Amino acid sequence: MERLRVRPEEQIADLAVWALLEEAELTPKPALVDRRGSGAHHDLDLGLLRRSAEALRDSFRAMAEAADGRAPDQTLREHLALIGRAGEVRMMAATGGSNAHRGAIWILGLLVAGVASTGSSDPLWIAATAQDIAGHSDRFAPVSESNGKRVCEIFGVAGARGEALDGFPHVIEIGLPALRQSRKAGASETEAQLDALLSIMASLDDTCLLHRGGRVALDTAKRGARIALDAGGAATRAGMGYLHRLDADLMALFASPGGSADLLAATLFLDRLERELSWSV
């Protein structure tokens, strides 16, 4: 495949931040922060998500710079992880200690590195390169136990790390096709993005849902998302009605599909990269 000439790293970072902001602003989302309110979150709101996304711009730029033209290896993996941990510190400072985008730093960080490494706007090539990077070990990773890791062990699910090691199937095989199919069918951009989110939710073993509400929350999300899609999706009155019902069901469980939201942001990142950006320096 011919290598494309990439734009400056600032533009890759800007696109990653845009994707986080676009996902945050999308409304109405089931039990997630959006323009209506905080969803099933007591420590987050739209303003905090905006500040968190903006605080990560320098980290995404540094990741792109680190990966520019480099083949995946352990040294690159460890360098990106170091940048990501520093980004978490900035995120926490910007949000007053709230974990707004820890999962997104991992997911989008790898994809940002995939763009810079390959110089490509092809989602498949980018995801495969990000997968390769994720497959290398990080000798300096902290030993601390995260909620996501604990949930993966308890419930036997892949989590964000598994998603990357599998080549981001919920982005490449589910999110992007759903987004583009809805657009092709005449849905508005908001409706198409909601359909992409519902499609991811209907399939993903979302560790955020499992952490907050166990199997009951995960099954509620998967079943409700599938019902909304089967009713016609967000572009139809019936589909939107089921989306609102799913929102109420998850709010009653105080469970939020945060992992699905992170993968939607990744979907939007790769979609806009391929559709709109012609790379040049």
Count of structural domains within the chain: 1
**Residue 178: pLDDT band with limits 50, 70, 90:** very high
Mean pLDDT rounded to a whole number for the chain: 93
Q: Domain for residue 279, yes or no?
A: no
How many CB atoms sit inside 10 A of residue 26's CB?
22
231, pLDDT greater than 60? yes
- 57 close to 109: Cβ distance less than 8 angstroms: no
Q: Which of 156, 192, 157 is nearest to 175 (CA)?
A: 192
Which residues is 37 bridged to in the sheet? 34
Residue 222 domain-assigned? yes
pLDDT above 70 coverage of the chain, percent? 95
Query: What is the pLDDT confidence band of residue 280, given thresholds at 50, 70 and 90?
Result: very low
Question: Could you tell me the residue range of the domain that residue 29 belongs to?
Answer: 9-138+155-273
Q: Is residue 43 part of a domain?
A: yes
Q: Compute the 3-state secondary structure of the chain and give helix, strand, coil in percent, each to the nearest 5.
A: 70, 0, 30
pTM of the model: 0.94
147 domain-assigned:
no
Q: In this structure, are residues 117 and 67 in contact, taking their beta carbons and an 8 Å threshold? A: yes
Residue 277, both tokens: 């950006």
The DSSP bridge partners found for residue 34 are: 37
Q: Residue 84 is which amino acid?
A: G
pLDDT at position 145, please? 62
- CA–CA separation, 227 vs 209, rounded Å? 18
In a domain, 189, yes or no: yes
- Tell me if 133 is assigned to some domain: yes
What CATH number corresponds to the domain at position 242? 1.10.4200.10
- Residue 145 resides in a domain: no
pLDDT in tens, 94-114: 999 998 999 999 999 999 999
Residue 77 reports pLDDT greater than 90: yes
CA-to-CA separations, 214 to 73, 162, 203, 218, 229, in angstroms, rounded = 36, 19, 16, 7, 23
pLDDT tens per residue across span 6-63: 457 998 999 999 999 999 999 999 999 999 999 999 899 999 999 999 999 999 999 9
pLDDT per residue as tens digits for the range 137-171: 998 888 766 777 888 889 999 999 999 999 999 99
CB atoms within 10 A of CB 56: 27
The reply to whether 102 falls in a domain is yes
Q: Per the structure block, which two tokens stand in for 86?
A: 């520093």
Q: Select from 271, 44, 276, 69 the least CA-distant residue to 178.
A: 271
- Tally Cβ neighbours within 10 Å of residue 168: 29
Helix axes 258-276, 9-25, angle to 10 degrees: 130
The answer to whether the CB of 96 falls within 8 A of the CB of 49 is no
Could you identify the residue written with the tokens 């589909």?
A: 239
Residue 278 has a pLDDT of 53
The residue assigned the tokens 């990269």 is 273
